[in-house]
Amino acid sequence: MNFSNLFGIPSAPRRHRGQFSRRNRERFSLPHLSSSLRANRKSFLSPTLNSKEYIIALAGNPNTGKSTLFNALTGLRQHTGNWPGKTVVQYRGSCNLKGKKVTLVDLPGIYSLLTNTIEGEIARDFICFARPDAIVIVVDSTCLERNLNLVLQILEITPKVILCANLMDEAKKKNLHIKISELEKKLGIPVIPTAARSGKGLNKLKSAMDDLICGRITTQPYRLHYSAEIEKAISEMEIELAPIVTNGLSPRWVALQLLTGDSTFINGIEKYLAGKQIDGGDSE
């Protein structure tokens, strides 16, 4: 089975991000895909790193205070290593949520999942294939608009998201007022204001994390809408992908990535469908 061949996409490591066209839509038609891949559904791995513990990922742009938040939540219960096959450092730590054992994974700081960087690929693949029980996206409250690009991208992958509006103390110094309740309504997810350096808001954040992983919170994430032509192509692909990319993967997200022609994602999903573990593994 080869996703690249099925979609007519080159498997070379370079990326192809040209604008979507009618020719591309025909190129990505899926009349034969379902039967070709259904045989591999039984080999899907459960991406939970340890079935006895919860996995929560921390994501965000650089310089949002994400590392400070990670340190505050995990204390000295941390260990580091490298992501398998990568030179990027991996940070994990333990956190107790009302008696539950939780592993926090501090993903590399990135501005977008659609990048040519190793860090972006690590974050995207962990969110998509490792399927953590929750994702806390840490944003800088002093420049919220710039941070929302990554937020909206992650919301296309999973609904299990909490927005941590960090650096609220800095926002206050700049006379910036964020309407948290309005932001929650717009995004359809919990928004928790924090100042990680002083510990403000961390208890509320931990409660929200516990509520989300236990199913006491139901999110309704905001969904981006594209041009009519792209939405039509996505819908057509979703129909074919739905019975194949199960086990928590979003058919819409997979369709979007296939339309970009991102060869690194295509290689990753080929491995995932083949039953190979690509969730980042344990730290060394």
Predicted local distance difference test score (pLDDT) of residue 92:
96
Beta-carbon contacts of residue 21 (< 8 Å; ≥ 6 apart): none
Q: What is the pLDDT of residue 35?
A: 39
Q: Cα(127)–Cα(27) distance, rounded to whole angstroms?
A: 27
**Residues 6 or more apart whose Cβ sits within 8 Å of residue 163:** 136, 137, 139, 151, 183, 187, 189, 190, 191, 192
Q: Identify whether the C-beta of residue 235 lies closer than 8 Å to the C-beta of residue 30.
A: no
Contact 238, 192 (CB under 8 A): no
> Is residue 135 domain-shared with residue 172, that is, in the same domain?
yes
Residue 284 in any domain: the answer is: no
Which domain-ending residue is among 213, 247, 262?
213
* Token pair recorded at residue 271: 């491995």
Q: Give me the pLDDT at residue 260, please.
A: 83
Domain count, the chain: 2
Q: Which amino acid makes up residue 223?
A: R
Tokens of 15: 């990326």
Question: What residue type is 50 in one-letter code?
Answer: N
CATH number of the domain residue 118 falls in: 3.40.50.300
> What are the distances in angstroms from CA 146 to CA 140, 163, 175, 268?
9, 14, 18, 28
Q: How far apart are the first and last CA of the chain?
A: 31
Q: How many CB atoms lie within 10 A of CB 122?
A: 18
Which run of H or of E encompasses 82?
strand 78-82
> In a structure prediction context, what are the per-residue pLDDT tens digits for the chain, which is 284 residues long?
444 444 444 444 444 444 444 444 444 444 433 333 333 333 333 334 444 689 999 999 999 999 999 999 999 889 999 998 889 999 999 998 998 999 999 999 999 988 778 999 999 889 988 889 999 999 999 999 999 999 999 999 999 999 999 999 999 999 999 999 999 999 999 999 999 999 999 999 999 999 999 999 999 999 888 999 999 999 999 888 888 776 677 888 889 888 888 787 878 777 777 775 555 544 44
Q: What is the structure's pLDDT at 2?
A: 45
Report yes or no on 218 lying in a domain. no
To which residue do tokens 């070709």 refer? 36
101 forms beta bridges with: 96
- Residue 84's pLDDT is 87
> Which structural domain range is residue 66 located in?
54-213
pTM more than 0.85: no
Whether residue 77 is found in the same domain as residue 167: yes
pLDDT for 156: 92
| Within a domain: 220 | no
